[in-house]
Amino acid sequence: MRRNFSLPANLDWHRFLRPGSLDRPTLVRIVLGTLLAANVAAAWFVFHPPGGSLEDLQTQIGVTRLQIVARQQSIERLHRTSDKTEKAKLAGEQFLDQ
Protein backbone atom coordinates (compact mmCIF):
# COMPACT_ATOMS: atom_id res chain seq x y z
CA MET A 1 0.00 0.00 0.00
CA ARG A 2 1.39 3.39 -0.92
CA ARG A 3 1.81 6.12 1.60
CA ASN A 4 -0.38 9.11 0.95
CA PHE A 5 1.78 11.55 2.83
CA SER A 6 5.40 12.57 2.85
CA LEU A 7 7.47 14.11 5.59
CA PRO A 8 9.62 17.05 4.64
CA ALA A 9 13.26 16.05 4.37
CA ASN A 10 14.47 19.15 6.14
CA LEU A 11 12.30 18.74 9.27
CA ASP A 12 14.48 19.16 12.35
CA TRP A 13 12.93 17.13 15.20
CA HIS A 14 15.66 18.13 17.63
CA ARG A 15 14.43 21.72 17.37
CA PHE A 16 11.09 20.66 18.93
CA LEU A 17 12.71 18.74 21.76
CA ARG A 18 14.90 21.58 23.03
CA PRO A 19 13.65 23.43 26.14
CA GLY A 20 12.06 26.74 25.27
CA SER A 21 11.55 25.84 21.63
CA LEU A 22 7.75 25.72 21.87
CA ASP A 23 5.82 28.95 22.17
CA ARG A 24 3.26 29.32 24.96
CA PRO A 25 0.02 28.74 22.92
CA THR A 26 1.41 25.54 21.40
CA LEU A 27 2.45 24.24 24.81
CA VAL A 28 -0.99 25.07 26.24
CA ARG A 29 -2.67 23.21 23.35
CA ILE A 30 -0.50 20.15 23.95
CA VAL A 31 -1.28 20.15 27.68
CA LEU A 32 -5.01 20.66 27.10
CA GLY A 33 -5.07 17.93 24.44
CA THR A 34 -3.37 15.53 26.84
CA LEU A 35 -5.85 16.38 29.61
CA LEU A 36 -8.76 15.96 27.21
CA ALA A 37 -7.50 12.53 26.15
CA ALA A 38 -7.12 11.52 29.82
CA ASN A 39 -10.66 12.72 30.59
CA VAL A 40 -12.11 10.80 27.64
CA ALA A 41 -10.32 7.65 28.80
CA ALA A 42 -11.59 8.15 32.37
CA ALA A 43 -15.15 8.72 31.12
CA TRP A 44 -14.96 5.51 29.08
CA PHE A 45 -14.05 3.53 32.20
CA VAL A 46 -16.83 5.21 34.20
CA PHE A 47 -19.57 4.45 31.68
CA HIS A 48 -18.21 1.08 30.49
CA PRO A 49 -16.35 -0.54 33.40
CA PRO A 50 -14.22 -3.54 32.42
CA GLY A 51 -16.00 -5.98 34.74
CA GLY A 52 -19.50 -4.80 33.89
CA SER A 53 -21.87 -2.46 35.65
CA LEU A 54 -23.25 -3.08 39.12
CA GLU A 55 -26.57 -4.27 37.68
CA ASP A 56 -24.80 -6.72 35.35
CA LEU A 57 -22.78 -8.17 38.22
CA GLN A 58 -25.87 -8.51 40.44
CA THR A 59 -27.71 -10.29 37.63
CA GLN A 60 -24.77 -12.68 37.17
CA ILE A 61 -24.76 -13.39 40.92
CA GLY A 62 -28.49 -14.20 40.86
CA VAL A 63 -28.15 -16.49 37.85
CA THR A 64 -25.17 -18.27 39.41
CA ARG A 65 -27.04 -18.81 42.68
CA LEU A 66 -29.96 -20.35 40.78
CA GLN A 67 -27.57 -22.64 38.92
CA ILE A 68 -25.97 -23.74 42.20
CA VAL A 69 -29.36 -24.58 43.70
CA ALA A 70 -30.40 -26.52 40.60
CA ARG A 71 -27.18 -28.53 40.58
CA GLN A 72 -27.44 -29.29 44.29
CA GLN A 73 -30.97 -30.60 43.73
CA SER A 74 -29.70 -32.70 40.83
CA ILE A 75 -26.97 -34.16 43.04
CA GLU A 76 -29.52 -35.01 45.73
CA ARG A 77 -31.70 -36.79 43.15
CA LEU A 78 -28.68 -38.75 41.93
CA HIS A 79 -27.83 -39.78 45.52
CA ARG A 80 -31.41 -40.94 46.11
CA THR A 81 -31.39 -42.89 42.83
CA SER A 82 -28.05 -44.45 43.72
CA ASP A 83 -29.35 -45.48 47.16
CA LYS A 84 -32.50 -46.99 45.62
CA THR A 85 -30.40 -48.86 43.06
CA GLU A 86 -28.19 -50.27 45.79
CA LYS A 87 -31.24 -51.37 47.82
CA ALA A 88 -32.78 -52.98 44.72
CA LYS A 89 -29.53 -54.83 44.03
CA LEU A 90 -29.41 -56.18 47.58
CA ALA A 91 -33.08 -57.19 47.45
CA GLY A 92 -32.49 -58.96 44.11
CA GLU A 93 -29.50 -60.86 45.53
CA GLN A 94 -31.55 -61.90 48.59
CA PHE A 95 -34.36 -63.07 46.33
CA LEU A 96 -31.97 -65.15 44.23
CA ASP A 97 -30.39 -66.65 47.34
CA GLN A 98 -33.81 -67.83 48.58
CA 42 – CA 55 distance, rounded (Å): 20
In a domain, 60, yes or no: yes
Residue 49 confidence class, pLDDT cut points 50, 70, 90 = confident
In a domain, 68, yes or no: yes
* Cβ 52 vs Cβ 60: under 8 Å: yes
Q: In total, how many domains does the chain have?
A: 2
CA distances from 10 to 6, 13, 14 (A): 12, 9, 12
For residue 19, the 8-state DSSP code is: T
Bigger pLDDT: 71 vs 28: 71
* Same domain membership, residue 26 and residue 66: no
* Same domain membership, residue 23 and residue 64: no
Position 20 scores a pLDDT of 67
* Same domain membership, residue 78 and residue 56: yes
Residue 25 confidence class, pLDDT cut points 50, 70, 90 = confident
Position 3 scores a pLDDT of 62
* Same domain membership, residue 90 and residue 62: yes
Average pLDDT over residues 65-90: 96
Position 93 scores a pLDDT of 93
Q: In the predicted model, is pLDDT for residue 56 greater than 80?
A: yes
Which domain does 69 fall in, by range? Answer: 52-98
In a domain, 28, yes or no: yes
CA 69 – CA 31 distance, rounded (Å): 55
The sign of the torsion formed by the CA atoms of 15, 17, 23, 28 equals positive
* Same domain membership, residue 93 and residue 64: yes
Residue 1 confidence class, pLDDT cut points 50, 70, 90 = low
